[in-house]
Amino acid sequence: MLGAEISIMEYFTEQNIELLLERFRSLGPLPGILLTFLKSFVPPLPTIMIVGANAAIYGLWLGFLYSWIGLVTGSFLTFWLFRKASDTPFIQRWAVRPKVRMAMVWAQRNGFSFVFLLSMLPIGPFVVINMAAGLTRMPTVSFAAAVTLGKGVMVFCVSYIGMHLSEFIAQPVKLIGVALFIAASIWLNRRLQAYFTSSAAVASEPSNTME
């Protein structure tokens, strides 16, 4: 499994993604939308590279739109599937795993803010977020609003960087800002997960005591 993920990461370089999009550009927006859509089902796919490549190939606004549609649609479909299948034996066995249970507690306690804040980051456990929200039967309208807004912020930032990548390369000083943006996203993602984890621990204390 790990070997397959490494192979995917090795193939999906920014150059290869742009060549792929250029090759199938005759299909219109479908390649750009499909690649970002698949992110919800193939976690190893690099969000930053795909969104940046969309902006480089289609332009800032169309690239933003295609990436946003793909990510939001994929997130919503994952949420909907797990919401519908939450009572099946297979999903129930999967839901008792420690990491999944923790994410479900995050979603139950924080709802909109949990999905919105983590959706704004270009790096994070997006698939788990969508699944946990579906398993806890988070209100559909709240999930849709949180994902739509959060992904919109993230996609625009990454699209802008991808669209102006040549400028960043020509002026290495600007690359520091890009590096800081990515580093800040990773740091903030970990801080938010730590916050939600502590909230989940506090929430589980009463039930543990009662048992």
The pLDDT tens digits for 151-191 are 988 898 888 877 776 666 666 666 676 667 667 766 776 67
Model pLDDT, residue 185: 67
The gap between the terminal CA atoms of the chain, to the nearest Å, is 38
pLDDT of 55-81, one tens digit each? 888 888 999 999 999 999 999 999 999
Q: pLDDT tens-digit profile of 113-138? A: 778 888 887 777 778 888 888 888 88
> Which range among 12-21, 52-61, 101-110, 169-178 shows the weakest confidence by mean pLDDT?
169-178
- Encoding tokens for residue 108? 């139950």
Q: At what angle do helices 140-163 and 172-210 cross, to 10 degrees?
A: 160
Give the model's pLDDT for residue 153. Answer: 85
Check residue 123 and give its pLDDT. Answer: 77
Contacts of 91 (CB under 8 A, 6+ apart): 82, 85, 135
Distance CA 59, CA 64 (A): 8
Length in residues, the chain: 211
> Alpha helix locations (H) across the chain?
2-11, 14-23, 30-38, 47-58, 60-84, 89-95, 98-110, 112-119, 126-135, 140-163, 165-170, 172-210
Summarised one tens digit per residue, pLDDT across range 22-59 is 888 888 899 999 999 998 888 778 888 889 889 888 88
